[in-house]
């Protein structure tokens, strides 16, 4: 009987504990032009009918339908552009040149486009004083009624909706240029390790580049949140004491590395000194060592998630435990990635009782449905496995062998 994982909590338990600690952040005012991707925090109502007046859908002539006959010539008594109005009330056998968006003159009930008359668009003021009808149109044609889009008082966008470019356009139509939205979280991101240096510097013996903070910071940004990149911490105690410097304006602290049981792994001690650890260690691979705690920084409680240092472990843990929290803080209702079920293309062994997240490339075939092609190297430090994949296939804890063609649930890593 296998019992090596008795101190580890399950992925579900870890998610439940972490997610329960976070709520949507406070409401802030945002310039409408910068509000794409935020969650709106108040209903927006139509301030007036949109369009505000009956107007022309075409460039052509405003006419009375009862005057319309093929080959009949009407008298052109004026012209209106999108910005202008005319007081003239259209009389029998009269027409007014009218452009798209212009208000319909009184007495007119139809617009006939240039193409159905003998007239063409005309730039100067010396437009022809008559127009002959070539083709018929129906009564009311080419008139856009006021309020067709939104009626005054109608809800345009409901509170809680994700602001998209079309929503920004609809709100702007009412002259509104600022909206209340839910604030986006800022994550303090700190890499740790004596061997870690920033890309751009020359590598000395024993050193490796900080690839993880690059991947994780980009993933934070892709999830709609902001990050603050801190200086890399070395593993000595003096440096670790500086860990929380400049973190107290952030909504979450995320460290990378230093969280295992090695001689130089100091993150758990750092959390315990400033606060308390909620749990350490999850029954999964990659990603077993993950610390979740809470620290008190000058009276402010901030949560700290200590990600494991191995690249794939940190990325998978970000996907499972941090991305949903960032979504929740932004006020999004659906905080999870899409999942699907796919047949695996080779046999997998899973002997240590941990839940495995396999890096796979899912493809869809008309007949066979979804197939998950498993990357051949699944170690926790193999970045190429993530570069290759578009999904994480979940191999359950108790499942020792998955056979070729068996179905697994896959978390899709793409939107
Ligand atoms: P640790 O958990 O600190 O023992 O790190 C585990 C492994 O991940 C070690 O091989 C580290 O060198 C590596 N590692 C830790 N942090 C990073 C990072 N930011 N970028 C790339 N590799 C890292
Ligand atoms: Mg380390």
Domains of the chain by range and CATH? 11-25+184-329 (3.40.980.10), 33-50+150-182 (3.90.105.10), 55-144 (2.170.190.11), 339-412 (2.40.340.10)
Q: How far apart are CA 220 and CA 327, in angstroms?
A: 10
Distance from Cα 358 to the centre of ligand 1, integer Å: 20
The pLDDT, as a whole number, for residue 240 is 86
CA–CA distance, 68 with 77 (Å, rounded to integer): 16
Structure confidence at residue 407 as a pLDDT band (50, 70, 90):
very high
Q: With a 6 A CB cut-off, is 262 part of the ligand 1 pocket?
A: yes
Q: Encode pLDDT of 265-324 as tens digits.
A: 899 999 999 999 999 999 999 999 999 999 999 999 999 999 999 999 999 999 999 999
Q: Which atom of ligand 1 is nearest to the CA of 308?
A: 2
Lowest pLDDT segment from 31-45, 66-80, 172-186, 230-244: 230-244
Q: What is the mean pLDDT of the chain?
A: 96
Is the CB of residue 287 below 6 angstroms from any atom belonging to ligand 1?
Answer: no
Question: What number is the average pLDDT over the span 143-150?
Answer: 97
By most ligand atoms within 8 Å of CB, the mutation choice from 209, 211, 310 for ligand 1 is 310
Residue 140 · residue 56 · CB < 8 Å: no
pLDDT at position 6 over 90: no
| Average pLDDT for 3-18 | 86
Phi, psi of 157 (to 5 degrees): -140, 135
Ligand 1 within 6 A of CB of 256 = yes
Which ligand 1 atom is nearest residue 262's CA? Answer: 4
Spatial distance between the Cα atoms of 82 and 234, rounded to a whole number of angstroms: 66
Mutate-to-test residue for ligand 1 from 197, 208, 291, highest number of ligand atoms within 8 A of CB:
208
286 CB less than 6 Å from ligand 1?
no
Q: How confident is the model at residue 3 (pLDDT cuts 50, 70, 90)?
A: very low
Q: Report percent pLDDT > 90 for the chain.
A: 93
Answer yes or no: is the C-beta of 371 below 6 A from any ligand 1 atom: no
**CB 258 less than 6 A from any atom of ligand 1:** yes
Whole-angstrom distance, CA of residue 173 vs CA of residue 66: 35
Cα 387 from Cα 247, distance rounded (Å): 31
Ligand 2 geometric centre to CA of 196 (Å):
8
Determine which residue's CA is closest to atom 11 belonging to ligand 1.
Answer: 309
Stretch 45-62: mean pLDDT, rounded? 97
Flag whether pLDDT at 365 surpasses 60. yes
Residues 88-116: tens digit of each pLDDT: 999 999 999 999 999 999 999 999 999 99
CA of 311 to the centre of ligand 1 (A): 7
Q: Which ligand is nearest to the CA of 232?
A: 1
- Atom 4 in ligand 1: residue holding the nearest Cα: 258
Confidence grade of residue 2 (pLDDT, cut at 50, 70, 90): very low
Confidence of residue 5 (pLDDT cuts 50, 70, 90): low
Q: Which atom of ligand 1 is nearest to the CA of 313?
A: 8
User: Is the CB of residue 28 less than 8 Å from the CB of residue 34?
Assistant: no
Is residue 1 over pLDDT 80? Answer: no
Task: Compute CA distances 31 → 35, 162, 181, 332, whole Å.
Answer: 6, 15, 10, 20
Tell the burial category of 225 from Cβ atoms under 10 Å away from its Cβ (0-12, 13-18, 19+): buried
> Does pLDDT of 4 surpass 70?
no
């Amino acid at each position: 009987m296998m019992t090596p994982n008795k101190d580890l909590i399950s992925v579900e338990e870890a998610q439940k504990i972490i997610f329960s600690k976070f709520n949507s952040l406070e409401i802030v005012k945002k310039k409408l032009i910068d509000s794409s991707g935020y969650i709106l925090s108040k209903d927006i109502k139509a301030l007036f009918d949109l369009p505000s007046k009956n107007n022309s859908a075409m460039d052509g002539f405003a006419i009375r339908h009862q005057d319309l006959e093929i080959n009949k010539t009407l008298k052109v008594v004026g012209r209106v552009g999108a910005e202008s109005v005319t007081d003239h009330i259209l009389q029998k056998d009269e027409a007014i040149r009218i452009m798209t968006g212009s208000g319909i003159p009184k007495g007119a009930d139809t617009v006939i486009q240039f193409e159905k008359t003998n007239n063409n668009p005309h730039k100067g003021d010396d437009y022809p004083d008559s127009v002959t009808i070539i083709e018929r149109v129906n009564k009311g044609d080419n008139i856009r009624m006021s309020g067709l889009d939104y009626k005054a008082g109608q809800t345009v966008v409901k509170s809680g909706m994700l602001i998209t470019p079309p929503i920004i356009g609809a709100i702007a139509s009412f002259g509104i240029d600022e909206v209340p939205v839910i604030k986006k979280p800022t994550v303090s991101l700190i890499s740790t390790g004596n061997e870690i240096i920033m890309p751009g510097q020359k590598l000395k013996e024993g050193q490796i580049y900080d690839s993880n903070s690059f991947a994780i910071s980009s993933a934070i940004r892709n999830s709609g949140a902001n990050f603050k990149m801190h200086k890399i911490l070395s593993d000595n105690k003096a440096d670790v004491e500086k860990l929380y410097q400049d973190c107290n304006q952030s909504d979450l602290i995320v460290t990378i590395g230093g969280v295992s049981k090695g001689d130089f792994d100091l993150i758990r001690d750092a959390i315990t000194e400033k606060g308390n650890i909620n749990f350490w260690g999850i029954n999964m691979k990659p990603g077993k060592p993950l610390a979740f705690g809470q620290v008190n920084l000058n009276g402010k409680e901030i949560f700290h998630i200590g990600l494991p240092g191995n690249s794939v472990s940190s990325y998978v843990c970000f996907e499972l435990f941090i991305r949903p929290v960032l979504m929740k803080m932004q006020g999004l209702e659906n905080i999870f990635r899409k999942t699907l079920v796919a047949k695996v293309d080779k046999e997998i062994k899973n002997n240590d009782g941990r839940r495995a997240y396999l890096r796979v490339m899912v493809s869809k075939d008309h007949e066979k449905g979804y197939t998950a092609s498993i990357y051949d190297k699944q170690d926790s430090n193999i970045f190429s496995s993530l570069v290759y994949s578009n999904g994480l296939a979940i191999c359950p804890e108790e499942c020792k062998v998955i056979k070729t063609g068996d179905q697994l649930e896959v978390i899709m890593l793409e939107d």
